[in-house]
Amino acid sequence: MPRRTLLPAAAAVLSLAAAAAAHEHHEHLDEEAQNKPVDAILWIHIFLQMAVWGVLFPTGMVLGLSKSRWHVPLQSVGIALTLGGYILGHAHGGRAFLAGIHGLFANIMLAPIFLQLALGIYLKLHIHEESVRPWAVRFHSVVGKAYPVIGWAQMLFGAVAFRGYCRGGNLGQCLAHYIMGSGFIAYGIIMAIMLLVGEAWIRRSQRSPEWWDSWIIMLWGIVNTFTEHHGGGWSHKDMQHTVLGVVWWAGGLLGILLARNNQRTVVPSIIMILTGWAFSEHAQSMMISTKIHAVFGDTLMLAGVARIVEVSFLAPRFAPLPPDAPSDDGTSEHTLADAPAGAGAPYHAVQAFRHLPPFLLVAAGVLFMSATDEELRFVDAELEMDHVTYTLVMFSLAFLIYALAVSRIRLWASSGRHAAAAQGDGAIELAPAGKWYARVPGGEPEGAAHVIGDDDDE
């Protein structure tokens, strides 16, 4: 863009941003202001930002990891649309909203957006190749990979602001449900990544998947043990939640010990089953809440059982790759081969079954996030929706989230530097049953180096 055109455009954007920043955030509102209809501008803001942060930016991040030439154009469009959405979010009329975390976080999000833009421009200049550039590449990668987390958090904050939830005494319940529910969804997506394209990384790390799971479970259990009771008398819920924290850190510790020397273990699955059972028996103040928590618990228990089946019966023995093994040895992350010759129904059954544990984890996370008292009171009293319909709506959302995750994983495996390999093999599917990571026989060194996959720096 010529300089004489760029400067007026930049001035216009800055003036609009300044006007948006001056938009009033209300500390106190009467009921009439909060019940006004939502105008078209706000609806455009909502759907635009959902599309950008839920689809466009994650797609651009994936294209950056695969070093596709479409990475820069897509992220540039995303940044422009984000700034437009930011302005619309401050320029709407109609319903007014109390000041909250959504508006504050919208301003904080500008920092990583402009930082990523500045780093991207700097990297395109190809200067300081031996000194500053390598660090800029790493920093650019870290900021870019944080985009899905940032976008997910802001979309949650937006939903909370839209309904006026999580204020006063409801904040603790919101934090518990949204953080743990998001954790289950992330767990499911990471598991899907490992199953679809992460075999070589797991084998080079010489750590079984359950070793990583157990560490996260143990650390999260320690946090829960000391944060669920807030003084005063102990209620049944306090005791149950605190003891669940103890179960998590005790079971996580056992899982770490059993997963030494690259061994598989079912301990994380047992913890999922126990957690699901506890919540399925967890009495709530409303009948609809009790039933939704029961569905969540049953879904989590089923995820644990499915994971036990996958670990115990569907994974063959396979030795790990040495840490210095090349990534193009036929078992790299983007080499997703077709079914072996002569493979029949058992092979394809294994391929299909391995999607079950991660999807159920995503579904459990969505259900748990949707089970706060405020949400269910609105569903029961105002929407007059029963728990069956509400559960089906949440499973529909889980299907969409998992579909988006799997499609982005497959895009990574078929774009940029991986495009030729994907076209040659013609398969963007789960690794074959004979190649997926499995328990390693005893005798492998415990202290093997942890080597991360190569060239995923942008």
Residue 144 has pLDDT above 80, yes or no: yes
Q: Output the pLDDT for position 19.
A: 42
Residue 363 contacts residue 395 (beta carbons within 8 Å):
yes
Q: Output the pLDDT for position 229.
A: 65
Residue 260 forms beta bridges with which residues? none
Tell me which DSSP letter residue 226 carries: T
Residue 207 contacts residue 321 (beta carbons within 8 Å):
no
**Confidence category of residue 439, pLDDT binned at 50, 70, 90:** low
Q: In 3-state terms, what secondary structure has residue 26?
A: strand
**Confidence category of residue 337, pLDDT binned at 50, 70, 90:** very low
Of 193, 223, 210, 163, which Cα lies nearest the Cα of 456?
193
Average pLDDT over residues 38-66: 93
Reported as a single tens digit per residue, the pLDDT across 297-308 is 999 999 999 999
- Residues 6 or more apart whose Cβ sits within 8 Å of residue 127: 133
Report how far residue 236's alpha carbon sits from residue 233's, in angstroms, rounded to the nearest whole number. Answer: 10
Average pLDDT, the chain: 80
Report how far residue 404's alpha carbon sits from residue 57's, in angstroms, rounded to the nearest whole number. Answer: 12
Reported as a single tens digit per residue, the pLDDT across 115-142 is 999 999 999 998 998 899 999 999 999 9
Q: Output the pLDDT for position 92.
A: 78
pTM of the model: 0.82
Q: Output the pLDDT for position 93.
A: 79
Q: What percent of the chain has pLDDT over 70?
A: 76
Report how far residue 95's alpha carbon sits from residue 29's, in angstroms, rounded to the nearest whole number. Answer: 10
**Confidence category of residue 237, pLDDT binned at 50, 70, 90:** confident
Residue 9 has pLDDT above 60, yes or no: no
Q: Which amino acid is at 213?
A: D
More confident residue, 9 or 114: 114
**Residue tagged 């049944």 (tokens):** 236
**Confidence category of residue 430, pLDDT binned at 50, 70, 90:** very low
Residue 351 zone, left/alpha/beta (φ > 0; ψ -120 to 50; rest): alpha
Task: Taking each helix axis as running N to C, give the angle between helix 209-225 and helix 236-258, from 0 to 180 degrees, rounded to the nearest 10.
Answer: 150
Report how far residue 133's alpha carbon sits from residue 122's, in angstroms, rounded to the nearest whole number. Answer: 8
Q: Output the pLDDT for position 34.
A: 64
- Lowest mean pLDDT: which of 3-17, 26-40, 91-105, 233-247? 3-17
More confident residue, 108 or 4: 108
Average pLDDT over residues 60-89: 92
Which token pair is 53? 């942060």
**Confidence category of residue 16, pLDDT binned at 50, 70, 90:** very low
Q: Output the pLDDT for position 322.
A: 55
Helices (H), 259-335: 267-280, 287-313
Reported as a single tens digit per residue, the pLDDT across 310-328 is 888 876 544 445 555 554 4
Residue 333 has pLDDT above 90, yes or no: no
Q: Output the pLDDT for position 2.
A: 42
Report how far residue 431's alpha carbon sits from residue 333's, in angstroms, rounded to the nearest whole number. Answer: 9
Reported as a single tens digit per residue, the pLDDT across 147-180 is 999 999 999 999 999 988 998 888 888 988 999 9
Q: Output the pLDDT for position 453.
A: 40
Reported as a single tens digit per residue, the pLDDT across 387-416 is 999 999 999 999 999 999 999 999 998 888
Q: Output the pLDDT for position 323.
A: 56
Q: What percent of the chain has pLDDT over 90?
A: 52
Report how far residue 294's alpha carbon sits from residue 282's, in angstroms, rounded to the nearest whole number. Answer: 8
Residue 183 has pLDDT above 70, yes or no: yes
Q: Output the pLDDT for position 179.
A: 92
Q: Output the pLDDT for position 294.
A: 95
Average pLDDT over residues 345-354: 67
CA–CA distances in Å: residue 276 to residues 214, 294, 386, 403: 17, 8, 22, 24
Q: Output the pLDDT for position 31.
A: 63
Q: Which pairs with CB-CB distance under 8 Å and at least 24 residues apart come from 275-279? A: 275/244, 275/247, 275/248, 275/300, 276/300, 276/301, 276/302, 276/303, 276/304, 276/364, 277/301, 278/240, 278/244, 279/368
Residue 334 has pLDDT above 60, yes or no: no
Average pLDDT over residues 438-447: 50
Of 396, 373, 397, 176, which Cα lies nearest the Cα of 292?
373
Report how far residue 355's alpha carbon sits from residue 351's, in angstroms, rounded to the nearest whole number. Answer: 8
Element housing 387 (H / E): helix 387-414
